[in-house]
Chains A and B, each alone.
Chain A
Amino acid sequence: MSIAITNISKKFGDFVALDNVNLSLPTGEITALLGPSGSGKTTLLRIIAGLEGADAGAISLFGEDASRQPTKDRHVGFVFQHYALFKHMSVFDNVAFGLKIRPRRTRPSKAVIRDKVYHLLQMVQLESMANRLPTELSGGQKQRVALARALAVEPKVLLLDEPFGALDAKVRQELRRWLRFLHDEIHLTSVFVTHDQEEALEVSDNIVILNHGKVEQIGSPEEVYDHPANPFVYGFLGNVNLFRARLDRGVLNLDQHEKQTGGVDFFVRPQDVALSLTNDDGKGVEAKIKAYRVLGGRVRVELQTLVGGKEIEADIEKKQWQAIRDADREPVYLLFRDAKIYTAADRTWSDYVI
Chain B
Amino acid sequence: MRTAKLNREPRWLKPTLMTVALTFLAVFIFLPVYTIFHEALAAGVFAYFGYFRDPEIFSAIKLTLLTALICVPVNTFFGVLTAWCVTKFEFRGKNVLITMIEIPFAISPVIAGLLFIFLFGSFGWVGSWLIEHNLKIVFAVPGIVLATAFVTFPFVARELIPLMQELGKDDEEAAMTLGAGGLQTFFRVTLPNIKWGLLYGVILTNARAIGEFGAVAVVSGLIRGVTTTMPLYIEILYNEYMFSAAFAVASLLTLLALVTLTVKAILERFIAAQRKIKN
Direct contact of A and B (CB under 8 A): yes
Binding site for B on A (CB under 8 A): 49, 51, 70-73, 75-78, 80, 82, 84-88, 97-98, 101-102, 135, 149-150, 152-153, 159
Interface string of B190-201 (1 = CB under 8 A from A): 001100000000
Flag if B175 contacts A97 (CB, 8 Å): yes
- Bound CA–CA A84/B174 (angstroms): 6
Flag if B176 contacts A97 (CB, 8 Å): no
**Known contacts A84-B171, A87-B278, A135-B277, A78 near B179 by CB under 8 Å:** no
Flag if A98 contacts B173 (CB, 8 Å): no
**Known contacts A71-B173, A78-B173, A101-B184, A87 near B277 by CB under 8 Å:** yes
Interface string of B263-279 (1 = CB under 8 A from A): 00000000000000110
Flag if A78 contacts B181 (CB, 8 Å): no
Number of interchain pairs (Cβ within 8 Å): 65
Flag if B176 contacts A70 (CB, 8 Å): yes
Whether B226 is near chain A, meaning CB under 8 Å from some CB there, is no
- Bound CA–CA A314/B94 (angstroms): 55
State which of A70, A82, A87, A101 has its C-beta within 8 Å of the C-beta of B178.
A101
- Bound CA–CA A77/B277 (angstroms): 25
Q: How far is the CB of A92 from chain B (nearest CB, A)?
A: 15
Nearest-neighbor residue (CB-CB) of A81 within chain B: B170
Whether B177 is near chain A, meaning CB under 8 Å from some CB there, is yes
Can you show 10 pairs from A to B with CB atoms below 8 A apart?
A70-B176, A72-B179, A76-B177, A84-B171, A84-B173, A101-B184, A101-B188, A102-B179, A149-B174, A149-B178
- Bound CA–CA A101/B181 (angstroms): 9
Flag if B179 contacts A153 (CB, 8 Å): yes
Nearest-neighbor residue (CB-CB) of A77 within chain B: B177
Nearest-neighbor residue (CB-CB) of B178 within chain A: A98
- Bound CA–CA A159/B178 (angstroms): 12
State which of B170, B180, B277 has its C-beta within 8 Å of the C-beta of A101.
B180
- Bound CA–CA A51/B171 (angstroms): 12
Q: How far is the CB of A205 from chain B (nearest CB, A)?
A: 23
**Known contacts A97-B188, A135-B277, A49 near B175 by CB under 8 Å:** no
- Bound CA–CA A14/B20 (angstroms): 55
Residues of B with C-beta under 8 A to A87: 193, 277-278
Nearest-neighbor residue (CB-CB) of A49 within chain B: B177
Residues of B with C-beta under 8 A to A82: 170
Residues of B with C-beta under 8 A to A149: 174, 178
Nearest-neighbor residue (CB-CB) of B180 within chain A: A101
- Bound CA–CA A122/B180 (angstroms): 25
State which of B177, B184, B188, B189 has its C-beta within 8 Å of the C-beta of A71.
B177
- Bound CA–CA A249/B180 (angstroms): 67
Interface-centre pick from B170, B174, B175, B188 (highest chain A CB count, 10 A) = B174
Residues of B with C-beta under 8 A to A85: 174
Residues of B with C-beta under 8 A to A72: 176-181
Residues of B with C-beta under 8 A to A98: 178-180
Residues of A with C-beta under 8 A to B189: 86
Residues of B with C-beta under 8 A to A75: 179
Q: How far is the CB of B171 from chain A (nearest CB, A)?
A: 5
Q: How far is the CB of B89 from chain A (nearest CB, A)?
A: 12
Nearest-neighbor residue (CB-CB) of A152 within chain B: B178
Residues of A with C-beta under 8 A to B176: 51, 70-72
